[in-house]
Amino acid sequence: MFRFEIKKVFSRTGSRIALGMLVLILAVICWFAADVSYVNEKGDTEQGLSAVRSLREAQKEWAGVVDEEKVRQVIRENTRIRNSPEYRSEDVRQQEIAYSWGQGIMDLRRLLNCFYEENFRSYDYYLADGLSEEDAPEFYGNRVRLLREWLSGEAKDQFSDAEKEYLIREYEELKTPFYYDYMKGWEQLLEYSPTVIMITVLILGYLVAGIFSGEYQLKADAVFFSSLYGRNRATAAKVQAGFAIVTGIYWVQIALYTAFVLLYLGADGANCPVQITLWGWKCFYNISLWQAYGLAVLGGYLGCLFLTFAAMLTAAKSRSAVLAVIVPFAAIFLPSFLSDIPWQNLGKVLALLPDRLLQVFNALPLFELYNFGGRVAGAIPILFVVYVVLTALLPRVIYEVYRRTK
């Protein structure tokens, strides 16, 4: 029965087309993720594997512990490049040559722009150009100072005292000095992961939508429910088939995506903290890049299971595949429309909707906190706990709803 249900899903022409689209879209996303350029010492732009190798070599020269001396070296090198005739030239090729010298310190220079800002929520690309080596000792202390100033000023009414203390404590507990390494592979992997996961969920929602509505469409429901095992084993086989299809396709997609990006761009820098990146420097979750990606794909799988189970439940209850297909679309796109509602606590509600599980990468830098009797927690661990429970309950609910259909 289990194999028969899976065979029914993939025997449909629409399902085969959907799988083909999934493969094609994954290939396009991988192409974008692998799009790396490098400007060589002649000022010419390289693409492809040669660009990856050159960028990796340039940034590997600066790998190591980002201590005070390393910060001084970055500031010194940036000053040297900025004061060079090539940098100051009006000739584009000369400017490109000067740019090529700074690719090795590109990540660290961006970090200087973040850590030395005057405002916690601003970013000035040229700020690093005004730094001197005497500023180096303030590097790590600036991050905590910026947070404290923001919490006592602009954000003083956004968080409770317990939440402010929690954020400051998490910032202070971050292990420093950072270790820096070439990390382009993990950065690209994380950046495009929400797109891969959301597209996969939408396709899977379409694939499983007909599992519980197929008998009604074929006018075979009377035969199905009157058969000896129709209301128990056959119904259970439908639930199991849905779970197997979602699990199998999701992890194949993630495995292909991960393998391609890391093999092409390299897996170096897995243990770098997320705070060393431009997108994650404000993050209060003290985790590494590989841990962040692990959370992203596990959250994606949990969200994928929940939404596809919700789609199957809709199909079992409404007897309509069309309504079932709408469920993942609504869950992903509706929050963006709801975000415009002028309600003070709306952010805390939106942060716990299932679409956030599909976009853990985007949620990591956000200050979404919940206070439970003085104990503060971020939204991401709460999301995992809540949806593990709900997702575990849904298969039984689907089984009971469909089994008792009249």
- CA 404 vs. chain centroid, Å, equals 39
| DSSP-assigned letters across all residues of 300-366 | HHHHHHHHHHHHHHHHHHH--HHHHHHHHHHHHHHHHHHTTS--TTHHHHHTTSTHHHHTHHHHTTS
Q: What is the pLDDT along the chain (406 residues), one digit of tens a residue?
A: 677 667 777 788 888 999 999 999 999 999 999 999 999 998 899 999 999 999 999 999 999 999 999 999 999 999 999 999 999 998 999 999 999 999 999 999 999 999 998 888 888 899 999 999 999 999 999 999 999 999 998 888 888 889 999 999 999 999 999 999 999 999 999 999 999 999 999 999 999 887 766 555 555 444 455 554 555 676 788 888 889 999 999 999 999 999 999 999 999 999 999 999 999 999 999 999 999 999 999 999 999 999 999 998 888 787 777 888 898 888 888 887 776 776 667 778 888 999 999 999 999 999 999 988 878 999 999 999 999 999 999 988 887 876 666 5
Say what the alpha-carbon torsion angle 317, 319, 323, 329 is, to the nearest 10 degrees: 70
Pairing mode, strands 45-47 and 37-39? antiparallel
The tokens for 373 are 């009797």
Give the type of residue at 231. Answer: R
Q: For 193, which DSSP code?
A: H
Domain ranges of the chain: 2-33+182-403, 38-180
Single-letter amino acid, residue 325: V
User: 13-33 vs 233-265: helix axis angle to the nearest 10?
Assistant: 20
